[in-house]
Amino acid sequence: MLKKLSVFGASLMVMALLVGCGESTPPSSTNTDDQRSGGLTVETLPLDDEVMDDDDAMMEDDSMMEDDAMEEGDSMEEDDAAMEEGVKEFTIDAENFSFSPNTMTVNEGDTVRITLNNLGGSHDFVIDEFDAQTEVINTGETETIEFVADKAGTFEYYCSVGSHRAMGMVGTLTVQ
């Protein structure tokens, strides 16, 4: 009797675990056959996470409209940078012995603002030639540094924690 009760209890726990781990949100889109036209109709259903408040959507649209159109000769790196006059802003993700992006391009004389976003482990960001370095930060933390790119050339940036640099946690800053 005790053995049957134990098996029943274990089975009940497994079923509860499976039900609790099941998907609770509907799929983001469903496909239905359209019998009249012989085609396929796609019906999109918004997920709770994808719905934005009207105010948030309007603020995002306004901020995107403020950016100037990309002029001929602009690089993608400059487009990703902040549009402040003479200030180039980058957000760099650090994880798994890598930086993303691992290349940046700015103009000589630009103020460079870099926000290090640590996605995993302990990391910092160092560019020796500009005496620019963040503190070592942990998973989920961010830190911002700012410096003037006052000399042209190609410069390596890296993580100075342990052997991260030797393991390939490096990138390149090009100052034109």
* Model pLDDT for residues 118-138, shown as the tens digit of each residue: 999 999 999 999 999 999 999
Domains of the chain, first to last: 76-175 (2.60.40.420)
Exposure class string for 47-76: b at 16+ Cβ within 10 A, else e: eeeeeeeeeeeeeeeeeeeeeeeeeeeeee
Confidence label for 4 from pLDDT (cuts 50, 70 and 90): low
163, with CB counted inside 10 A (0-12, 13-18, 19+), is exposed
Measured CA to CA, the distance from residue 136 to residue 94 in angstroms comes to 11
Confidence label for 13 from pLDDT (cuts 50, 70 and 90): low
Average pLDDT over residues 17-26: 50
Highest mean pLDDT among 32-46, 76-90, 130-144: 130-144
Report the percentage of the chain scoring pLDDT > 70: 52
140, with CB counted inside 10 A (0-12, 13-18, 19+), is exposed
pLDDT of residue 7: 63
Record the tokens describing residue 20, joined without a space.
């609790």
- The mean of the pLDDT values for the chain is 73
Strand arrangement, sheet containing 142-148:
98-100, 87-95, 111-118, 142-148
pLDDT of residue 20: 54
Confidence label for 156 from pLDDT (cuts 50, 70 and 90): very high
Reported as a single tens digit per residue, the pLDDT across 86-118 is 799 999 999 999 999 999 999 999 999 999 999
Record the tokens describing residue 43, joined without a space.
């019906």
Residues 6+ apart with CB under 8 A from 41: 31, 32, 33, 34
* More confidently predicted of 87 and 14: 87
